[in-house]
């Protein structure tokens, strides 16, 4: 019974990690899409590059552990 619960726990952990990677990629895509739309209307968002860089740094650090 313990092995079955441990296997379920590992499967849930893998699903959580994969879903977080997918959500992060979608967030980066949305940020760049918003930036492109803002440029097409003539408004420049100056901090979007820094925000995406900070997000990338957080993801990189979280994958180490």
Looking at residue 12, its pLDDT comes to: 92
Looking at residue 21, its pLDDT comes to: 87
CB distance 55 to 28 below 8 Å = yes
pLDDT digits (tens), the chain, 65 positions: 688 889 999 999 899 889 888 988 888 888 888 877 777 777 666 677 777 778 778 777 776 54
Kindly list the distances between the CA atom of residue 35 and the CA atoms of 1, 4, 9, 17, 22, in Å, as whole numbers in the listed order. Answer: 51, 47, 39, 27, 20
Q: How far apart are CA 24 and CA 27, in angstroms?
A: 5
- Dig out the tokens for 55 from the structure: 């997000």
Residues 6+ apart with CB under 8 A from 35: 45, 48
Q: What does the pLDDT read at residue 25?
A: 87
Query: What pTM did the predictor assign?
Result: 0.58
Longest dimension (CA), the chain: 62
């Amino acid at each position: 019974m313990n092995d079955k619960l441990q296997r379920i726990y590992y499967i849930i952990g893998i699903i959580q990690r994969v879903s977080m990677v997918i959500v992060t990629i979608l967030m980066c895509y949305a940020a760049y899409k918003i930036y492109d739309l803002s440029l097409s209307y003539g408004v420049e968002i100056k901090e979007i590059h820094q925000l995406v860089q900070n997000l990338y740094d957080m993801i990189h650090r979280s994958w180490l552990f």
